[in-house]
Structure 1
Amino acid sequence: MSYKLLKEGDARSGLIQGITCEGWVIKSKKAPICNSNEIDRFQKDVGIPPPEMIFGNNYVELTHGPLKYTWNTMDALALVDSSAGSGDYIKVSYAKEWSSKSNYQHVKDVVKPYDWTYTTTYKGTNHFGREWEKVDEPVINVERLQQKEPILFYDENILYEDELADNGTAMLSVRLRVMPSCFLVLQRFFLRVDDVLFRINDTRIYHEFGSPYLVREYTSKEDHYMNIRKKMEGKDIGLLNDANWIASILSSKAATAMERDRISIQ
């Protein structure tokens, strides 16, 4: 197949890399962490305190003719729950002790509630102008992805990250790889709350060149922190920060959501 690699800009102003092939233009932009003015603007627009590390100018973009699908930080964080009581869904391991302190109720009353774990159900932003169609059967050709093919383009892009006041970590990232026969984009939200839980929300976008469809699979899995610790069996504790390892041992029983759909690109 014929393809062309793309590269423009630089790390300081924003580096865009990507590939054009089979009528697709696939781009990934990485820029520096947001400055104070950008953070203030974000908080005003979205209405919640931003994560510690917010890469608001980063994005991943798929275009096919007039059709476009993107991933960006603002749209992802806009789906963080900020309803009343949302900050109480997940408690840190010492929350009971902390809540007994005399000033807790005052703090709770004056701070705007939001999900402090920055959990998002974001699946990307659809600019196709048409709706996704639900599909019951598997939509991703796992056997094809397991075949040995040259990787024409690969990138990993972080949209935001937070250490949750030293109680764990939350990170939203997008990885993409393009092969001669297909491409796969994995958007992953990874959450670790120490002594409480692990959660992974994955969105996979897949396309086989020549197919009339772009397909999508969304899964959400979580398990108690100690259940994961029991599976380490003397392994390096650093694996608790490895989203890939955590994802590999979260069983299907840990799934709280599974969605499959497709959209026509013709």
Structure 2
Amino acid sequence: MSHTQPIIFNNEWSIGTTHGSILESEGSKRQEYETGLATSHLPEMIFDKTTLKIVHINNKLEIVFNAFDALKSIDMYNNIEQIPKVSMSEVWSKSRSKDRELDYVKPYDWTYTSRYKGTLCSSSDKSWHIEVTDQQLDLEKLKRQEPILFYDELTL
């Protein structure tokens, strides 16, 4: 497992990543995923040690992105009609409409579509307080051609 050196922004925020190997197809960690997610339908590759962590240094409040929590946010069996369709899926389905095996398939979200927005944590006695706001991103600030101070590519 490898860690990037966290980058500190404005002495206020720390951003760091962890990279690791693919979750094993058998064993206690795999069992933990299947039990914790209440499904045996898992993606073929899960990078269980890969994380992105954003920390507010003064408050020790964290937003963490990880595979387990991302998979927990997937509604595997409900709202099947909302599963995204891949190109040509309708044509394929019609060509197989007389295929009796399709009648026995249990539907689940095989696209693993997640609405995961991160996991909020605290390593202090402070806690997150989320509230609705009418503030918007400063688009002019985003348009500035400033150097990129942090970049990493992650696969959950």
Please identify, of 62-71 and 83-92, the stretch whose mean Cα deviation from structure 2 is larger. Answer: 83-92
Aligned to 2:80: 86
Of residues 99, 116, 121 in structure 1, which corresponds to 2:115? 121
In the alignment, residue 117 of structure 1 is paired with which amino acid? Answer: T
RMSD: 2.3
TM-score using structure 2 length: 0.77
Specify which of 23, 47, 51 is matched with residue 55 of structure 1. 47
- For residues 72 and 89 of structure 1, the distance between their equivalents in structure 2, rounded to whole angstroms, comes to 22
* Greater relative contact order, per chain length (Cα 8 Å cut-off, separation 6+): 2
Contact 1:61 1:70 in 2 (8 A): yes
Residues 83 and 107 (structure 1 numbering): CA distance in 2 closer, same or farther, change over 3 Å?
Answer: closer
- Alignment partner, residue 24 of structure 2: 35
* Equivalent position SS for 1:43: helix
AA aligned opposite 1:61: K
Q: Sequence identity, in percent?
A: 33
Shift in alpha-carbon separation, 1:40–1:87, aligned structure 2, 3 A:
farther
- 1:14 is matched with which residue? 2
Structure 1, 49-58 or 30-39: larger mean CA deviation: 30-39
CA distance in 2, matches of 1:145, 1:84: 38
Secondary structure of the corresponding residue to residue 155 of structure 1 = coil
Matches of 1:145 and 1:76 in 2, distance apart?
27
The code of the aligned residue for 2:42 comes to P
8 Å CA contact 2:3–2:16 kept in 1: the answer is: no
- Alpha-carbon shift at residue 84 of structure 1 (Å): 4.2
Alpha carbons of 1:81 and 1:99: their partners in 2 closer, same or farther (altered >3 Å)? farther
Taking structure 1 as the reference length, the TM-score comes to: 0.48
Pick the aligned partner of 1:46 from 24, 37, 43.
37
8 A contact 1:18–1:153 mirrored in 2: no
Whole-angstrom CA distance in 2 between matches of 1:43 and 1:141: 42
Any stretches of 5+ residues in structure 1 without a counterpart? 1-12, 160-266
Q: Quick check: 2:63–2:121 contact (8 Å CA) kept in 1?
A: yes
Aligned to 1:76: 70
Whole-Å separation in 2 of the counterparts to 1:27 and 1:88: 34
Instruction: Give yes or no for contact 1:87–1:116 (8 Å, CA) kept in 2.
Output: no
Q: Quick check: 1:158 aligned with 2:146? A: no
Shift of 1:107: 2.8
Q: Distance in 2 between matches of 1:101 and 1:88?
A: 23
C-alpha contact (below 8 Å) 1:39/1:50 kept by paired residues: no
SS in 1 for 2:14: strand
One-letter identity of the residue aligned with 1:155: D
Higher strand share: 1
Shift of 1:153: 2.1
Query: Are 1:77 and 1:118, in contact at CA under 8 Å, matched by a contact in 2?
Result: yes
**Structure 2: where are the runs of 5+ without partners?**
none
Q: Secondary structure, in 3 states, of the residue corresponding to 1:70?
A: strand
